[in-house]
Amino acid sequence: MSTMLKTSLPFLLTEVKAPPDPAALYINLTGGRPGSFLLESALQHPRLGRYSFLGWDPFLVLKTKGFQATIEEAGKGKITVLDNPWNVIRQLLIRYQQPFTQPHPLPFIGGIVGYLAYDLGRYIERLPQWARDDLPFPEGYLAFYATVVGIDHQEERVYVAAHGFPASGTAAYKLALARIKEVEERLLKVRPLPALDTRKNDKAEGISSLFTRDTYCRAVERAKNYIAAGDIFEVNLSQRFETRLPFHPLELYLRLRKFNPAPFAAYLPLEEGVIVSASPERFLRVSKGQVETRPIKGTRPRGRTPAEDQALRKELWESEKDRAELVMIIDLERNDLGRVCEVGSVKVPELFVLEEYATVFHLVSTITGALRKDKDMVDLWRATFPGGSITGAPKIRAMEIIEELEPVRRSVYTGSLGYLGFNGEADWNIAIRTFLIVGNRAYFQTGGAVTADSDPGSEYQETLDKACGLLKALGL
């Protein structure tokens, strides 16, 4: 064990000897049990995918559904609170905030991991209630972790961070030290994962969608009618697929990280089901008071040859439609950030960037701002959630149209997964390329932006292109 970083707070951090393989560490240390988490940069990138994190045994878990929140604290049982879920989230964040400015090698050193389902947007703006709510997942799930294992992929180093909650003073320091030592002992037993055999015959069965090609195209036409009437400029329309899953959700995650590696991947098992995500999109990053969002608009499939790749890359780069879609969302995100950021601080340092993934190309922008001193993470979420890239513009009217045209609620899909540290550092994805698993059923959604010049058949095909990596993970 190297020298520990000890602070005036009940917090310790140390480097440990362990293989810098997040999935191997996660499976060895947790077995994928409910209450654990893995946030993995499966597609490593110096800016987007440098770190991965894992943890287990949260000391507090918050679940929300409608205006009812359940708080379960270790050793204290459950309590139920009736309130707007955003108010409950804020109260818990205030309780555990820890201003901490001393340098350390990880952006996340303990705090909250979880998700905000798309439907939490209903408690920011009043929306109609037409779509069926047919999945059992909470609308909000936030788990509080005193101990976190972090991997720096750039330096190939592994760290353990531990806090002394719920103790205080000397007792808190001793508890944090005990937590560090416990993890170190468990790390001695870590073994490499066996090679993933994706050639075996296990594959999903009976995949179906709530849309046919014809009904999806008709929904696109209805969306275009709203655009022609002046209700909206664009709307994100999606379809949900369902299939029987023939293997364990952990195997699905390992398959997904192989076929569709992404900088914002996650494995999050709950009692209600399992979330398996391989998102390429950052929703919100907060570091030292600076906010960043990176909306994606514009997609092309990867080609079968380098020449096809180059042609598709060029087609996306030169597409006026895709650029127009992205510009509309940039304007929306700038306005959202402007509600909580310092006047004049909102910038667009990257207007159009073409990014390459295993199965698709994407067009991406970066918008930044300085969070106002009188605003917190809940203010930021309420100003920006859900992300504009997966709703449309104007956002509220687009969400009303989504509620009309999509037959089921989105649940976690197009919500956000990520972490918020006790010290205020945060990184959250947009929950796309994401499976929701209930029993032996796997659900996933894909969608795209409908604009005035959208071709319904092309929009339907885009949803299939985005599903390619997910279908490969299913063995299809």
Tens-digit pLDDT profile for the chain (476 aa)? 344 444 445 688 999 999 899 999 999 999 999 999 999 997 766 677 799 999 999 999 999 999 999 999 988 889 999 999 999 999 999 888 876 666 788 999 999 999 999 999 999 999 999 999 999 999 999 999 999 999 999 999 999 999 988 777 888 889 999 999 999 999 988 988 887 776 666 777 789 999 999 999 999 999 999 999 999 999 999 999 999 998 999 999 999 999 888 999 999 999 999 999 999 999 999 999 999 999 998 888 889 899 999 999 999 999 988 899 899 999 999 999 999 999 999 999 999 999 888 888 889 999 999 999 999 999 999 999 999 999 999 999 999 999 999 999 999 999 999 999 998 999 999 999 999 999 999 999 999 999 999 999 999 999 998 898 899 999 88
Helices and strands per DSSP (H, E), number in the chain = 11, 25
Q: What is the CATH number of the domain that holds 96?
A: 3.60.120.10
Residue 39 is inside which H or E element, if any?
A: strand 37-40
Residue 449: inside a domain: yes
Phi first, then psi, for residue 167 (nearest 5°) are -75, 175
| Structural domain range at position 341 | 5-191+209-473
For residue 371, what is the DSSP state?
B
**Under DSSP, is residue 181 helix (H, G, I), strand (E, B) or coil?**
helix
How many structural domains are present in the chain? 1
Q: Indicate the pTM of the whole model.
A: 0.93
Residue 196: inside a domain: no
**Under DSSP, is residue 115 helix (H, G, I), strand (E, B) or coil?**
strand
Residue 198: inside a domain: no
DSSP 457-474: HHHHHHHHHHTHHHHHHT
Q: Which residue has the tokens 């205080």?
A: 168
pLDDT at 74: 87
Note if 308 is an active site residue: no
pLDDT at 101: 64
From the list 24, 74, 15, 12, the residue with the least C-alpha distance to 54 is 24
Residue 203: inside a domain: no
CB 444 within 8 A of CB 435: yes
Residue 309, token pair as written in the block: 């790749």
Note if 6 is an active site residue: no
Residue 221: inside a domain: yes
DSSP 52-110: EEEE---SEEEEEETTEEEEEETTTEEEEEES-HHHHHHHHHHHH-----S--S-S--S
Residue 363 and residue 462: Cα distance in Å, rounded?
14
Residue 403: inside a domain: yes
Residue 338: inside a domain: yes
Q: Which residue has the tokens 């209930």?
A: 438
297, 395, 459, 462: the active-site residue: 297
pLDDT at 9: 54
CB 43 within 8 A of CB 189: no
pLDDT at 199: 65
40, 139, 281, 292: the active-site residue: 281
Helix, strand, coil percentages in the chain from 3-state DSSP, rounded to 5? 30, 35, 35
Residue 112 and residue 327: Cα distance in Å, rounded?
33
Residue 442 and residue 251: Cα distance in Å, rounded?
13
Give per-residue burial for 100-124: e unless 16+ CB within 10 Å, then b: beeebebbbbbbbbbbbbbbbbbbb
Residue 14: inside a domain: yes
Angle 282-65-268 from CA coordinates, rounded to 5°? 45
Residue 368 CA neighbour count, 13 Å, CB half: 12
